[in-house]
């Protein structure tokens, strides 16, 4: 059976609203599997999945691995350290050698924008983008959408502001595409040095002050300052960034309505977000992490060509 998502999941830009909703709807019943004592169903038994991580990751790598194992797939993790990538082997050669060992899917994280597509066009296995450079991080976008939909029922007409280092953020791009397709209004807020010059062309509102963003929004998705991608000069200092753009409980206390706080992690506590906000009543940050496993199960399941109805059966341990 062919997948309703096509061969690969490379980003949310080219998915339809129906495809995105299908993934979210499929994830909902799959959540129950992780609540059981025995967290395993046979849905992907016999499938071999390679997790190819060329950049550091905690949440994405581990939740893909949990998702794969909970659906009974056989999984192999390959990191650049300790593999022949260190000897100069190319991404495509690595993947083709893995394919020669008869694999079915590759989950790839890579520092170069477009690496997932480049790979998908050259191998037969399904490719899932787990974050490519500053381009997209589709499963993070999907888990953010699911977390908001869980709270609100629907995203239509809701206002979400993406705050901080949008310039270096693949999470921002996947969120903007996904939120807009599901009918939300999207804004960004941050210093101009950390916003792409053409950001307004993506149909988003731009706030220069975090106070204005808090007044407008139903939810803030607070991005990590990606210090490792900055070669310097973007902000005067971390302390200054926190003073002007930090999401603090004092600022949230002036919000005119209930406001949800998301963060994709890892957090720079005391920089883009204060600890009492990250751990406080507005925060849905750990719900995002929980939903990450279910969303990744749904993506694997749909790419494997299963029908959405079978998700219900899988939940029952079919």
Two tokens, residue 152:
């609100």
What is the closest distance, in whole angstroms, from the C-beta atom of residue 1 to ligand CP in the complex? Answer: 30
| Residue 191 or 264 with smaller CB distance to ligand CP | 264
* Closest by Cα among 12, 14, 79, 19 to 302: 19
| Residue 142 or 311 with smaller CB distance to ligand CP | 142
The C-alpha atoms of residue 238 and residue 194 are separated, in whole angstroms, by: 13
CB contact at 8 A, 204 and 188: yes
Q: How far is CA 5 from CA 8, 10, 31, 312, in A?
A: 7, 10, 20, 19
| Residue 48 or 57 with smaller CB distance to ligand CP | 57
By CB under 6 A, name the one of 6, 32, 59, 244 that touches ligand CP.
59
SS3 content of the chain, % helix, strand, coil (to 5): 45, 15, 40
Question: Of all residues in this chain, which one has the CB nearest to ligand CP in the complex?
Answer: 60
The C-alpha atoms of residue 290 and residue 296 are separated, in whole angstroms, by: 11
Please name every residue paired with 132 in a beta bridge, in sequence order, or none if there are none: 110, 136
| Residue 85 or 289 with smaller CB distance to ligand CP | 289
Catalytic residue among 7, 48, 59, 229: 59
* Closest by Cα among 58, 74, 94, 86 to 267: 58
Compute the Cα dihedral for 28, 73, 13, 230 and give only its sign: positive
| Residue 57 or 248 with smaller CB distance to ligand CP | 57
Catalytic residue among 109, 135, 158, 170: 109
Binding to ligand CP by residue 29, rule CB under 6 A? no
Catalytic residue among 60, 75, 94, 134: 60
Task: Determine whether 60 is an active site residue.
Answer: yes
Q: Which helix or strand (DSSP H or E) is residue 241 part of?
A: helix 238-245
Binding to ligand CP by residue 140, rule CB under 6 A? yes
Binding to ligand CP by residue 111, rule CB under 6 A? no
What is the closest distance, in whole angstroms, from the C-beta atom of residue 131 to ligand CP in the complex? Answer: 6
Binding to ligand CP by residue 131, rule CB under 6 A? yes
| Residue 26 or 63 with smaller CB distance to ligand CP | 63
Task: Determine whether 149 is an active site residue.
Answer: no
Compute the Cα dihedral for 311, 288, 173, 169 and give only its sign: negative
**Total of residues contacting ligand CP (CB under 6 A):** 10
Binding to ligand CP by residue 286, rule CB under 6 A? no
Binding to ligand CP by residue 266, rule CB under 6 A? yes
Neighbours of 198 (CB within 10 A): 7
Binding to ligand CP by residue 134, rule CB under 6 A? no
Task: Determine whether 102 is an active site residue.
Answer: no
Q: Which helix or strand (DSSP H or E) is residue 216 part of?
A: helix 210-216
CB contact at 8 A, 160 and 183: no
Catalytic residue among 87, 102, 197, 254: 87
Catalytic residue among 137, 181, 282, 296: 137
**Residue ranges in 235-264 that form contacts with ligand CP under rule CB under 6 A:** 264
Give the contact letters, 145-184, x = binds to ligand CP (CB under 6 A), - = no. ----------------------------------------
C-alpha of 300 from chain center: 14
Residues that bind ligand CP (CB under 6 A): 57-60, 131, 137, 140, 264-266
Catalytic residue ranges: 59-60, 87, 109, 137
């Amino acid at each position: 059976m062919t997948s309703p998502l096509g061969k690969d999941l490379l980003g949310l830009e080219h998915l339809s609203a129906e495809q995105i909703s299908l993934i979210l709807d499929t994830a909902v019943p799959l959540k129950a599997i992780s609540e059981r004592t025995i967290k395993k169903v046979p849905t992907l038994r016999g499938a071999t999945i390679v997790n190819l991580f060329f950049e550091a990751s905690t949440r994405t790598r581990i939740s893909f691995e949990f998702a794969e194992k909970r659906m009974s797939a056989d999984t192999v993790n390959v990191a650049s350290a300790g593999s022949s990538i260190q000897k100069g082997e190319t991404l495509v050669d690595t993947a083709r050698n893995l394919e020669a060992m008869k694999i079915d899917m590759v989950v790839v994280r890579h520092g170069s924008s477009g690496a997932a597509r480049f790979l998908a066009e050259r191998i037969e296995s399904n490719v899932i983008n787990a974050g490519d450079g500053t381009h997209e991080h589709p499963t993070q976008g999907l888990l953010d959408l699911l977390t908001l939909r869980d709270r609100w029922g629907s995203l239509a007409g809701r206002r979400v502001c993406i705050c901080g280092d949008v310039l270096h953020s693949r999470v921002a791009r996947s969120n903007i595409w996904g939120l807009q397709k599901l009918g939300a209004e999207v804004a960004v807020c941050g210093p101009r040095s950390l916003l792409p010059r053409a950001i307004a062309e993506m149909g988003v509102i731009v706030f220069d002050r975090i106070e204005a963003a808090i007044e407008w929004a139903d939810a803030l998705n607070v991005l990590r300052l990606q210090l490792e991608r900055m070669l310097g000069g973007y902000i005067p200092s971390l302390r200054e960034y926190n003073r002007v753009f930090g999401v603090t409980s004092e600022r949230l206390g002036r919000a005119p309505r209930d406001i949800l706080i998301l963060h994709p992690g890892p957090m720079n506590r005391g920089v883009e977000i204060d600890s009492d906000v990250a751990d406080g009543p507005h925060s849905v940050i750990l719900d995002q992490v929980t939903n990450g496993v279910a969303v990744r199960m749904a993506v694997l399941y749909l790419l494997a060509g299963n029908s959405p109805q079978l998700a219900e059966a899988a939940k029952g341990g079919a």
